Amino acid sequence: MSSKPVRVRFAPSPTGYLHVGGARTALYNYLYAKKMGGKFILRIEDTDLERSTEEALRMQIADLKWLKLYWDEGPQSDNLEDKGDFGPYRQSQRKEIYQRYADQLLEEGYAYYCFMTDEEIDAQREELVKAGKPPQVQSPYRDLPMEEAKKRIEAGEKPVIRFRVGEKKDYTIQDMVRGEVVFPSDMVGDFVLIRSNGMPVYNFCCAIDDALMDITHVFRAEEHLSNTLRQLMIYEALGFWTPEFGHLSIILGADKQKLSKRHGATSCNEFRLRGYLPEALLNFIALLGWSDAQGREVMSMEELIQAFDPERLHQSSAVFDEQKLLWMNSVHLRNLSHDDLWNRLRVIFDKEGLKFSGDEEWVDRALDLFKTSMETLNDAIELFRPLSETKLKIEDSSLEVLSWESTPKVIGAWLEELKEREDKYLTEEDFGNIQNKIKDQVGVKGKHLFMPIRVAVIGKPQGAELKELVPLLKREVLIQRADEVLNR
């Protein structure tokens, strides 16, 4: 293990919202940094100019901040300016650095200019495949003298810079997830470092950045395992120290295929919009590839940090079970204090145009009633809608009830009873007494009694128990609603 101070990085490409797989990678890096008292760095791999956008970068930064995975170094959300001593933290702003190291490799014979066209490369690969050989580029320019190469460049030709793979040997890492992994050097042919348009390729940027930013441990997705050999060759050629690697297991959908958009929601933003809690999503994805030594499932961020151990990361794939996520979300939701839960709900209610003027005691009563029926924050919208002090919407489903001969008498009697009271709110007992009085007074029972009252309270004949709802609505609101329905 490294004796250097721990420095880990999350290095997304800004091409869209943060995927849950990316969030898991960020989380494991964050947990390890916090557990070891190290630094968590955000680095942006945006050399793919066609797909990378400023908007996507801001979206991913917003997702990370929603998850509360705060980084010690990297671009900040408001102005994308860097914080930290190892910047720039965006690869598109580090081109001069990559060119400097490419020039060093050229001078020392580890790289060369290659003038092969795409057509020549495709034709060569086709021939190699036909001959049953690996389709590795065999450049005729491998031993071209530097003076000749420079003359061709001065004449206007635009070569790539290729890494010259040396004599056959094995490269070995002790992967933190997979144990010893051996890469024979002949797994790859001479590979590109800098494209003909001057843009560096991923493996070259990644190796240089990890070295210059003093990254000690690299937790990343399993699909990056195939990139490791090229990066090891670059570390070796440049005399760089090599970080420790941990290649994380793949996340699968319910059909055991790699998790993708076809499985439904896969971005953190989608889960945020659907009313999931960030702490529940993090808790859930933490267990997709890692397990707690004590077998706990519902854990806070503090507990995850204390418990995180790379030795408990799994090699086997994990299945994204959205039903389990929903269950875990409901547990986290019910564990929130009423103050915390209400503050989160208010944001959603404001968007929906729902208005509540109840005090703290009212909030406690309302949440005591509805919290157990909520799995996500969004579930509160329809649960609380009848309590909103906005104008009552009388649903079409009420028309039949409103046509009954006895309905005006029931609602009229309900209205009179409300006007006779003086308290701000009715109690459950008050409501029961009033309902019994109307039953005797009008001579109705069953649905002909409670459905008209329900329409007068919530604008529709079906819904929550009135004895639970009525004590949460101000008497003046109940009077106003009964008047509206009676006039209808």
3-class DSSP state for residue 339? helix
Alpha-carbon distance 358 to 368, whole Å? 14
Q: How far apart are the C-alpha atoms of 22 and 8, rounded to whole Å? A: 15
Q: What gap in Å lies between CA 355 and CA 190, rounded to an integer?
A: 66
Cβ partners under 8 Å of residue 280, min gap 6: 325, 328, 329, 331, 332, 333
- Where in 222-290 does DSSP place strands (E)? 244-248, 251-252
Residue 439 catalytic? no
Please tell me the distance from the alpha carbon of residue 19 to that of residue 221, in angstroms, as a whole number: 12
Whole-angstrom Cα distance, residue 457 to residue 485? 9
Tell me whether residue 134 is exposed, middle or buried, using C-beta atoms within 10 angstroms of its C-beta: 0 to 12, 13 to 18, 19 or more. exposed
- Taking each helix axis from N to C end, the angle separating 447-458 and 428-438, rounded to the nearest 10 degrees, works out to 130
CA distance 113 to 153: 9
Of the candidates 16, 90, 82, the residue with the CA atom closest to the CA atom of residue 46 = 90
Place of tokens 């009008």: 442
183: which strand partners?
171
Residue tagged active-site, from 4, 158, 261, 393: 261
Contacts of 456 (CB under 8 A, 6+ apart): 411, 414, 415, 478, 481, 482, 485, 486
- Say which residues have a Cβ less than 8 Å from residue 208's Cβ, sequence separation at least 6: 97, 98, 101, 234, 238
- The number of CA neighbours under 13 Å toward the Cβ of 247 is 16
- Which candidate, 104, 103, 100, places its Cα nearest to that of 238? 104
Give the residue numbers annotated as catalytic, written as ranges.
261
